[in-house]
């Protein structure tokens, strides 16, 4: 019995975990950006009508356990704690996520010239600047950064030697901590803590589901026992009523004395 309950609990936990899509699939993004329901709606018991036949509710032990698992709010709340622990693992990997920042801007100015040395009656200047920066921290603590800065200037002056003028600068920086935050073990401590908390949440959910299944099975068999006990008592009542009728008839016929 215990093995069957534990196996059913493992199946329920696996179904709950399978409902969460893996990153970075499209289903994962839909789950993250979907608008959560803010209204509370009281719903009737789920799947109850599936077991109604001829106006009577007929439940086997498996059907009863399925109804309990589908309508128990404690399991749904415990499932939310499991999702929270799973998201905590993703948050623990955040320091190792790469960061890419890019920017581009362009400015143009037209200035009337009152000097022949300006090279144009209306001096037009165009300035364009782009900046790209990529930073990532590895699990060993090593951090590398790649930066690129490019600029372009152009004008309509007749005295400009290089038109347009382009400048570019590429910078690569690598840093490695020697004492603090050095090594993969130290940097992975938040990840290991988050995974340990996930295992604790899974154990709590498994224990809660196992307890719920045990209580549901005991309640089911208690109802069966009470029903069979009622049938036995009804049968005893019928036998007692039949014996009373027979004794009354025997008394009328004089087969037994009134004292008997």
Closest CA to 83 of 194, 209, 188, 198: 198
The better pLDDT of the pair 14, 128 is held by 128
Helices (H), 108-257: 184-187, 189-253
Integer Cα distance of 201 and 140 in angstroms: 29
Give the C-alpha separation, 75 to 27, whole Å: 23
Work out the percent of the chain whose per-residue pLDDT is above 70: 83
Query: Which of 37 and 126 is assigned the larger pLDDT?
Result: 126
- Please give the residue that has the higher pLDDT: either 36 or 34: 34
- Within 13 Å and on the Cβ side, how many CA atoms surround 105? 3
Helix 2-18 to helix 189-253 angle, to the nearest 10 degrees? 130
CA angle 120/122/126 to nearest 5° reads: 95
- Provide the 8-state DSSP code for 49: G
The pTM of the full predicted model, rounded to 2 decimals, is: 0.57
Q: How far apart are CA 57 and CA 53, in angstroms?
A: 6
How far CA 227 is from CA of 53, 56, 219, 220, 239, in Å, comes to 19, 15, 12, 11, 19
Measured between alpha carbons, how far is 97 from 100 in angstroms, rounded to an integer?
A: 10
φ, ψ at 137 (rounded to 5°): -110, 130
What pLDDT shows up at residue 232? 93
Spatial neighbors of 38 by CB under 8 A, at least 6 apart, are none
For residue 126, the model assigns a pLDDT of 86
Please determine, for residue 31, whether its predicted confidence score (pLDDT) is greater than 80: no
Has residue 212 got a pLDDT over 50? yes
- The pLDDT of residue 24 is 66
pLDDT on residue 2: 45
| pLDDT digit string, tens, across residues 162-177 | 788 889 999 999 998 8
pLDDT at 116: 63
> In the structure, what pLDDT confidence band is assigned to residue 117 with cuts at 50, 70 and 90?
low
Cα atoms in the 13 Å half-sphere on the side-chain side of 66: 10
* CA 106 remoteness from chain centre: 44
Q: Which token pair is 162?
A: 């290089």
Under DSSP, is residue 147 helix (H, G, I), strand (E, B) or coil?
strand
- Cα-flanking dihedrals φ and ψ of residue 149, to 5°? -130, 125
How far is residue 187's CA from residue 95's CA, in Å, rounded to a whole number? 9
pLDDT in tens, 45-75: 777 777 777 777 788 888 888 888 888 877 7
Give the neighbor-by-neighbor strand order of the sheet with 99-112. Answer: 99-112, 122-137, 143-155, 165-175
């Amino acid at each position: 019995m215990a093995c069957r309950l534990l196996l059913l609990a493992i199946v329920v936990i696996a179904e709950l975990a399978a409902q969460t899509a893996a990153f970075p699939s499209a289903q994962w993004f839909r789950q993250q950006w979907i608008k959560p329901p803010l209204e509370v709606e009281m719903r009737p018991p789920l799947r109850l009508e599936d077991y109604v036949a001829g106006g009577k509710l007929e439940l086997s032990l498996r059907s009863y356990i399925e109804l309990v698992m589908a309508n128990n709010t404690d399991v749904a709340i415990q499932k939310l704690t499991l999702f929270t622990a799973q998201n905590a693992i993703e948050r623990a990997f955040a320091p190792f996520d790469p960061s890419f920042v890019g920017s581009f801007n362009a400015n143009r100015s037209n200035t009337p010239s009152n000097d022949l040395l300006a090279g144009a009656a209306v001096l037009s200047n165009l300035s364009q600047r782009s900046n790209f920066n990529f930073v990532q921290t590895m699990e060993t603590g090593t951090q590398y950064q790649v930066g690129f800065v490019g600029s372009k200037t152009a004008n309509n002056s007749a005295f400009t030697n290089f038109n347009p003028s382009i400048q570019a600068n590429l910078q690569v920086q690598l840093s490695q901590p020697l004492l603090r935050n050095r090594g993969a073990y130290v940097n992975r401590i938040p990840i290991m803590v988050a995974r340990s908390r996930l295992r604790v949440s899974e154990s709590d959910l498994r224990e809660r589901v196992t307890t719920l299944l045990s209580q549901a099975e005991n309640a089911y068999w208690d109802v069966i026992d009470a029903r069979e006990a009622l049938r036995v008592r009804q049968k005893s009542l019928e036998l007692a009523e039949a014996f009373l009728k027979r004794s009354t008839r025997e008394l009328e016929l004089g087969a037994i004395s009134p004292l008997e």
